[in-house]
Amino acid sequence: MEVILKQDLDNLGYADEIVKVKDGYARNFLIPRGLASIATESNRKMLTETQKQRAHKAQKIKGDADSIAKQLEATTLRIGAKASDSGKIYGSITALQLADALSKMGVNIDRKKIRIDGDHIKATGLYTATVNLHKDIKAKINFEVFAE
């Protein structure tokens, strides 16, 4: 069954995309939760009209995301954490702490769009994370965890 997604879903697609899914997944999960609608002919026409209207706005958003991506890739964040003498930190560094550090820098990014590369961060050192700024633009952030 083909459905039109109403919002971005991990491992499935982005909003206003037509994707093919199994019938049961569409009828029992996506449609009742309001995440998708059936891709009928009239819904497809409405989708194309909506996409035409959003094209100009999307171009501006993509340009803004591209400039933010260049700014993020050029900087290295410093995140302080309580740590033992051996460099092992108490707890771990999460996307929420990265989002807070970015907001102090002046860039507001939702923590759900930040993915830390690799396993959990439990020691001081240099690490990277990926930020999904736009469906076509992903930025790599370098950050350093240091002992406070």
CATH class held by domain 2-61: alpha beta
Q: Could you tell me the residue ranges of all domains in the chain? A: 2-61, 66-147
What confidence score (pLDDT) does residue 25 get? Answer: 95
Q: Is residue 122 within 8 Å of 57, Cβ to Cβ?
A: no
pLDDT digits (tens), the chain, 148 positions = 999 999 999 899 998 999 999 999 999 999 999 999 999 999 999 999 988 888 888 888 888 889 888 988 888 889 988 998 888 998 888 899 999 999 998 888 888 999 998 778 888 999 999 999 888 889 999 999 998 8
Of 24, 25, 113, nearest in space to 12 by CA: 25
How far is 148 from 115, CA to CA, in rounded Å? 24
pTM: 0.61
DSSP run (H or E) holding 18: strand 18-20
Structure tokens given for 70? 């260049």
Helix, coil or strand: residue 50: helix
Name the CATH superfamily for 66-147: Ribosomal protein L9, C-terminal domain (3.10.430.100)
